[in-house]
Amino acid sequence: MLKALRRAADRRRHAHGDYGWLFTPYTGNEMVAIDCKTTGPDARHAELVSLAAVRIRDERVLTSDSLDLCLARPASLAGDAIGLHGLRGIDLADGTEIEEALARFLDFVGNRPLVGWCLKLDLAVLNHYLRPLFGFDLPNAGIDVAQCYQRQLHRNHPERDVRLCLEQVAELLEMPVMRRYSALGDAVTTALIHLRLARGALLAEQRFC
Amino acid sequence: MVDVELSQPPFSFLDEEGRDRVRSGIDLAYFERDQIILDAGQPGEYVFLIHKGEVAELDPTLPGAQSRIGHYTVGDLFGAISILNGKSRYRFRAEQECLCYLLPKGLFKQLCEAYPAFAEFFRQRLAHKTRLLTERRAEGGVAMAGFMLARVDQCMRDPILVESTTSIAGAVHTLNDSHADSLLVQGEEGAGMVTKTDLLNALVVEGLPQQEPVREIAHFALITARRDQYLFEVLVQMTRFKVERVVVMEQDAPVGVVELTDVLSYFSSRSYVVSLQVEQANSLEALAGASRRTPELVRALMAQGVKLRFAMGLLAAINGRIINKAWGFVIDECYHADSCLMVMGSEGRGEQILKTDQDNGLILADDLEWPDCHEQMQRFTETLIKLGYPSCPGNIMVSNPEWVGTETEWRGRIAQWAASRDGESLLRLAIMLDSHAVAGKTTLLERLREELFERCSRDEILLSYFARTALRFSTPLTLFGSLKKPQHGIDIKKGGIFPIVHGVRTLALERRITATSTLDRLDALVADGRLEERFAEDLGEALSLFTELRLRQQLERLDNPDGRDESPDRVVVQELSSLERDLLREALHIVKDFKQRLSYRFHLEYS
């Protein structure tokens, strides 16, 4: 509710701005799978380290047309997170400035629907940056693949209540895992899982019994 | 950027920079099971590299199991040849869920230009594949059967007999006159053999005079065979005794000679050669030449006792290729992708063994502009007539505008036929049900057939009307279950073949079975659970028997075209052997049983 109100307000404010077109409904057949890597698990304090997006058209993942950005080193980059995504301070030495990165991201994504693994977290981090710099939250429609998977699994096996990570799900669905822990790799994996789920991978099979 | 294994050929022909270009240029695509990845006639836009899953390559113009021509699994590439050719010749279908990397056409061409070794790899594959395919098509699976079943008297030469007192010079003259390699010499106790080599040795090595009688140099210990032995036994004998000729004896007298070269050329001719001729024909004349040889092939197959089912399969494949090639020669290339030529009736079912008539039609894509379509079709029909397909008495040919139409027009026609249900419409529906695409864009026909199933398979009243035709002709059995024996013979096309074909067609329509050959339909009906396996087998055998009887009469008619002018469908029971008569009676009983089942299923008891 609050989100809807906020989005309406954003739309009014930016109707004639540079990013007004982001608020128009999308009519094409493309989607964009996104993934962010941050310095920590807590969306409110985490800082963005890298950001990737890849387009999906029909049954295709257009990896040739993707966006993969490393950001300038954030202040809170520390040991744990580096272990997770493998981006050291030195790797980020010539990273993009956050404002430029977000501008390119917005241009790439446009008003297409977003697809992500635990999309809420990614959106929280992105909006955390977007609001002060551009003055609005991402208005795009979103599909959370993790949630889709849970829902389909639950429909088949109501007794099971497990939370699986991206890697495990990909393995269960017999999908390849692209460079795990790089933002682009995860985005591609997410896109593939989405394609499979959208075609009813779980509904048709009883492999998980 | 994606991780993709690029250490295998052809990517190993690229350097690191080229591989990077591949990595950054490829997309990923996910295909469901049975999804068509690339259809025949479609322009190739991508090279596909399979990351996971299996893909089958199909030739949609061939019936049933023959259509599978390739299989690709993890790590295999396909689609490159489609790019080099401009369009795909075959259909690629996902056998399982598939994840493929897609290398766009533009990038692929750039790579081919920049790395000659890379391009060479695909060119070689193209040539290799074409060769493999031609060989495979030509074989058709019966060459082996022909090989095993040929008998000596099919490949035997008349012997050249000379008196034992003939001089060497006389023998050489006789050999030259008759273009033979060997002579038989009439001796006191049986015949002897003199070969060219013997004559040469006698003259040069031993220095005998030309007037010496041949008796002196002939071999009287002969390797002999009987007329009815299998040819391969003779080949084994030749190998065992290291000779090149075997004399065929009958009641202690030589009746023929089998030469090694004849055996070898015999085995390499026949079915193999006809299909190879069709494949290699590059003009209408060559095609017509190959087409004229098919009756000879049929006769050879029948003589060798090849099962009719396989003979029909082979002939259907050859006929399909002939029509497909003729289409390629006559019709402009630019229309191929937007039109679909179908054969219908017996040819669509793949049951036309001799060329009895041409039933064909044409579907055009809705947005195709083809101003001189009618003239071209006229020409095509005439070409087929030249190739030996007589014109259809019912005028079901592409030269008739009623059998040419855009997809929408065809849909309209089907709807109209299904709605009116009169005799003519039912006939046309039946013809349409048997249609099979032989050239052009096959999806057009598939969509139309789906529409046909959609419209008819649930319409009980239509099905019942449709099935009733199967009961139209009475089974030629008497009240007590023995064969009727009219003087002019019984009509097995009406009494035997038609009820089976039509009844099975009706069941196939009801169960939405896409196969068109009656025997394939029977198999599918068994798999579907509609018919018991035993009964379906019996029906298949009965149909084979009828077809064989009919074929024999057709062949006889070909031999002496003016001898008998009655229809080949008539079988005079009195002329059959008692075994054949028994078989025929059994088969007709099966037909009767099938008709009863039909009338029970479709409620035809009182109609």
Length of chain B as a residue count: 607
Mean pLDDT on B7-34: 80
Neighbours of B210 (CB within 10 A): 12
Pick from A64, A174, A178: which is nearest to B27 by CB? A64
Taking only the tens place, the pLDDT of each residue in B122-175 is: 777 766 666 665 555 554 444 444 555 667 777 777 888 888 888 888 888 888
Across the interface, whether the CB atoms of B30 and A192 are under 8 A apart is answered yes
Across the interface, whether the CB atoms of B99 and A199 are under 8 A apart is answered no
Across the interface, whether the CB atoms of B30 and A59 are under 8 A apart is answered yes
Taking only the tens place, the pLDDT of each residue in A160-191 is: 667 778 777 877 777 777 766 678 888 888 88
Instruction: Specify the DSSP class assigned to residue A143.
Output: E
Pick from B1, B52, B104: which is nearest to A176 by CB? B52
Across the interface, whether the CB atoms of B30 and A195 are under 8 A apart is answered yes
Helix, strand, coil proportions of chain B in percent (round to 5)?
55, 15, 30
Give the number of C-alpha atoms closer than 13 A to the C-alpha of residue B590, restricted to the C-beta side. Answer: 22
Cis omega (within 30 of 0) for bond into B371: no
All residues of chain A having their beta carbon less than 8 Å from the beta carbon of residue B32 are 59, 199
Q: Which of B95, B57, B49, B47 is nearest to B74 (CA)?
A: B49
Domains, chain B, ordered by start: 11-123 (2.60.120.10), 149-269 (3.10.580.10), 457-607 (1.20.120)
Exposed e or buried b per residue across B267-305, where buried means at least 16 C-beta atoms within 10 angstroms of its C-beta: bebbbbbbbbbbbebeebeebbebbebbbebbebbbebe
**Interface mutation target, options B28, B54, B100, chain A, most CBs of A under 10 Å:** B28
- CATH number, domain with residue A129: 3.30.420.10
**Interface mutation target, options A63, A145, A184, chain B, most CBs of B under 10 Å:** A63
All residues of chain A having their beta carbon less than 8 Å from the beta carbon of residue B3 are 178-179, 185
Domain residues for A32? 23-205
Neighbours of B121 (CB within 10 A): 19
**Ranges of chain A whose pLDDT falls below 70:** 74-93, 160-161, 179-181, 200-209
Closest-CA residue in chain B for A58?
A: B29
Closest-CA residue in chain A for B46?
A: A60
Mean pLDDT of chain B: 81
Asked whether residue A10 is assigned to any structural domain, the reply reads no
Asked whether residue A2 is assigned to any structural domain, the reply reads no
Asked if the model's pLDDT at residue B486 lies above 60, the reply is yes
Which of A79-93, B79-93, B298-312 tops mean pLDDT?
Answer: B79-93
Asked whether residue A53 is assigned to any structural domain, the reply reads yes
Which tops the pLDDT comparison, B77 or A205?
B77
Q: How confident is the model at residue B144, as a pLDDT?
A: 45
Asked whether residue A164 is assigned to any structural domain, the reply reads yes
Across the interface, whether the CB atoms of B1 and A61 are under 8 A apart is answered no
Pick from B2, B27, B104: which is nearest to A178 by CB? B2
Taking only the tens place, the pLDDT of each residue in B252-297 is: 788 888 888 777 766 655 555 676 677 777 788 888 888 887 877 7
**Global ipTM:** 0.74
Mean pLDDT on B194-209: 84
Measure the CA–CA gap between B338 and B319, rounded to whole angstroms.
22
Quickly list H helices, B1-115: 16-25, 80-85, 105-114
Asked whether residue A112 is assigned to any structural domain, the reply reads yes
Measure the CA–CA gap between B215 and B204, rounded to whole angstroms.
17
Across the interface, whether the CB atoms of B2 and A63 are under 8 A apart is answered yes
Closest-CA residue in chain B for A177?
A: B3
| Number of domains chain A is built from | 1
Asked whether residue A14 is assigned to any structural domain, the reply reads no
Exposed e or buried b per residue across B153-165, where buried means at least 16 C-beta atoms within 10 angstroms of its C-beta: bebbbebbebeee
Asked if the model's pLDDT at residue B504 lies above 90, the reply is yes
Neighbours of A190 (CB within 10 A): 30
Q: How confident is the model at residue A209, as a pLDDT?
A: 36
- Write down the pTM of the prediction: 0.54
Across the interface, whether the CB atoms of A63 and B52 are under 8 A apart is answered no
Q: Is there a contact between A113 and A56 (Cβ–Cβ < 8 Å)? A: no
Asked whether residue A192 is assigned to any structural domain, the reply reads yes
